[in-house]
């Protein structure tokens, strides 16, 4: 959720809204939503407010519909609120704003939205879905997704580039899961066998998240060793020059 990276003052990342819309669709909806964004600005609504409302909509869609097995309608609600990602970014560009606070809010609420989506899946399988294993897989997807994001943020905070994207990042996790959930929900409309898409998607996301986590940990370890070796080399050169 939240404003795009360029307008929110943070390194470029792929948000849920960007992930679910290709560049041509984004350009179209940006043009369509620009008047609406301008209207909100005139009404005194801030981009941060739109970000908060968008996240609240995603959380509501996930935690109200998914635990009841209403995967189709839950995904529809989530997708509608995903458009807030385009609206608040458009507003920020029109206002010419770029702030550390906006970047922080954006990243924080991304984690909240992720937790709600996979938490909704876990609640379904822990309850009426009656599948303890898939409940555990959904919880693993939730936890591993948070840790994958943390490894990059923590690595960058100690001065490392963390120059690896990984097999399954946030965009892939959400698109795979939400698309599968939406189609799985068509089972209630009489489409046979399609409900198995969601379990398959959760296993794919779980495996991909584990691989991505390993990739990032290995990258941070390598970059840390290289940085320490470079620092030691500079220290030795400094000592040699002093003598």
Whether 130 has a binding-site annotation, put simply, is no
So which residues are the catalytic ones? 110
Q: Is 8 annotated as a binding residue?
A: no
Q: Is 110 annotated as a binding residue?
A: yes
> Of the candidates 146, 81, 154, which has an alpha carbon nearest to the alpha carbon of residue 115?
146
106 assigned ligand-binding residue:
yes
Has 49 been labeled as part of a binding site? Answer: yes
Is 89 known as a binding-site position? yes
Q: Would you give the distance in Å from CA 186 to the centre of its chain?
A: 25
| Alpha carbons 147 and 20: distance in angstroms, whole number | 22
51 assigned binding-site residue: yes
Specify binding-site residues for Mg(2+): 85, 88, 106, 110
Specify binding-site residues: 48-51, 85, 88-89, 93, 99, 106, 110
Specify binding-site residues for a CDP-1,2-diacyl-sn-glycerol: 48-51, 89, 93, 99
């Amino acid at each position: 959720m939240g404003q795009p990276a360029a307008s929110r003052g943070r390194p470029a990342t792929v948000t849920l809204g960007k992930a679910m819309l290709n560049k041509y669709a984004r350009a179209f909806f940006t043009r369509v939503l620009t008047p609406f964004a301008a209207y909100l600005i005139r009404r005194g609504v801030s981009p941060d407010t739109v970000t908060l409302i968008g996240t609240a909509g995603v959380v509501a869609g996930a935690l109200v519909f998914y635990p009841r097995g209403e995967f189709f309608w839950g995904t529809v609600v989530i997708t509608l609120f995903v458009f807030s990602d385009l609206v608040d970014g458009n507003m920020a560009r029109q206002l010419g704003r770029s702030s550390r606070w906006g970047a922080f809010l954006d990243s924080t609420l991304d984690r909240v939205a992720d937790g709600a989506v996979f938490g909704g899946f876990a609640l379904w399988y822990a309850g009426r879905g009656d599948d303890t294993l898939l409940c555990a897989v959904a919880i693993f997807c939730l936890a591993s997704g948070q840790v994958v994001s943390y490894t990059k943020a923590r690595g960058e905070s100690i001065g490392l580039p963390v120059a690896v994207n990984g097999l399954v990042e946030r965009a892939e996790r959400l698109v795979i899961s939400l698309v599968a959930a939406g189609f799985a929900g068509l089972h209630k409309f009489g489409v046979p066998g399609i409900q198995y898409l969601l379990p398959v998607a959760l296993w794919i996301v779980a495996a991909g998240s584990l691989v991505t986590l390993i990739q990032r940990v290995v990258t941070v370890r390598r970059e840390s060793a290289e940085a320490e070796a470079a620092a030691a080399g500079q220290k030795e050169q400094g000592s040699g020059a002093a003598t």
